[in-house]
Amino acid sequence: MLGRIVFAWWKGSKLDCNAKQWRLFADILNDVAMFLEIMAPVYPICFTMTVSTSNLAKCIVSVAGGATRAALTVHQARRNNMADVSAKDSSQETLVNLAGLLVSLLMLPLVSGCPGFSLGCFFFLTALHIYANYRAVRSLVMETLNEGRLRLVLKHYLQRGEVLDPTAANRMEPLWTGFWPAPSLSLGVPLHRLVSSVFELQQLVEGHQEPYLLCWNQSRNQVQVVLNQKAGPKTVLRAATHGLMLGALQGDGPLPAELEELRNQVRAGPKKESWVIVKETHQVLDMLFPKFLKGLQDAGWKTEKHQLEVDEWRATWLLSPEKKVL
């Protein structure tokens, strides 16, 4: 029970953003839990610990599996018919379980006296189960942008000037998610993480009219973004694009001319002040982002909503035609 609570607190906000990855993770972890249950009687001295670990894994599976199933049901309910999709999904699962029960009754006499054969069947069917779930998750085409899909689409756009359509981007999206991913982009952070003085705040607010403030740590390649109370999906998408574009300045591959010049400045020593680079990339985005946004819409992406991970912190400052003031 504690494991269920801790996991929901720790990773709950990421389940919507990476529903496909956590769906596959839940399926694999469920197979691991079943394997631990099978092996528990083999080592009686570790029986309690093994069964407890298996139950903990099943609790995590119930949270991750249930939450991602709900998220994918929303995706599949194209006519706002969530109840219909959920009911048919449940009946399909019941039919599969019924077929599995009948097959297991037929196989039970064959494997009951041969533990080795039983274990071999388990590994074969588990491998088949993981492969089937991988293919099922890979076939999903999400038309909303999370960080992984946005990173792929933006990289392709900066290198080739073309926007990947949802089918191509989903096919390229990695399906494994780590428990401790590198926090390269943080959206909706509190203001005190970015500034500790009025001077630093003035550096961030001058030179642009966007309702977000962005701080870039060049040494860690980490971007933190403070959002204004008025920030909507388009602003969040631009802020995420801005952060990923800054990360591209430290990567390899061709870039547009204006960004290539900034990359040379970043790589030249001594390093240019990060806030100066951020200010200059605001000007680049003023020209690049409207074209990128239109390309996303033309390619079939839903830009009126997103699946980017955004924290709840917001700040307030006044926007004027000439400058931003507190």
309 vs 192: CA distance, rounded Å: 20
274 vs 242: CA distance, rounded Å: 13
Answer whether 37's CB lies under 8 Å from 51's CB.
Answer: yes
Cα four-point dihedral sign 96, 8, 75, 293: negative
Which pLDDT belongs to residue 182?
Answer: 56
Answer whether 240's CB lies under 8 Å from 265's CB.
Answer: no
DSSP secondary structure letters along 179-197: SS----EEES--GGGT-SS
Cα four-point dihedral sign 224, 228, 229, 230: negative
Which pLDDT belongs to residue 60?
Answer: 93
162 vs 158: CA distance, rounded Å: 8
Which pLDDT belongs to residue 324?
Answer: 44
Q: Which amino acid is at 38?
A: I
Which pLDDT belongs to residue 199?
Answer: 85
Q: What is the pLDDT along the chain (326 residues), one digit of tens a residue?
A: 888 899 988 888 888 888 999 999 999 999 999 999 988 988 889 899 999 999 999 999 999 998 898 888 888 888 889 899 989 988 998 999 999 999 989 888 888 878 888 888 889 999 999 999 999 999 999 999 999 999 999 999 998 889 999 999 999 998 886 555 555 899 999 998 888 888 888 888 887 888 999 998 888 888 999 999 989 999 999 999 999 998 888 877 788 888 888 888 777 766 667 888 888 899 999 999 999 999 999 999 999 999 999 999 999 876 645 544 44
Which pLDDT belongs to residue 164?
Answer: 94
137 vs 174: CA distance, rounded Å: 11
Give the residue from 57, 55, 71 showing the smallest Cα distance to 25.
57
Which pLDDT belongs to residue 179?
Answer: 53
The pTM of the full predicted model, rounded to 2 decimals, is: 0.86
Question: Could you report how far apart the first and last alpha carbons of the chain are, in Å?
Answer: 46
With tokens 């590198």, the residue in question is: 182
Give the residue from 274, 224, 214, 213 showing the smallest Cα distance to 249.
274
* Chain centre to alpha carbon of residue 126: 26
Task: Read off φ and ψ for residue 119, nearest 5 degrees.
Answer: -65, -40
Which pLDDT belongs to residue 317?
Answer: 79
222-227 β-sheet, strand order: 185-187, 222-227, 212-217
257 vs 99: CA distance, rounded Å: 60
Give the residue from 165, 144, 157, 187 showing the smallest Cα distance to 18.
144
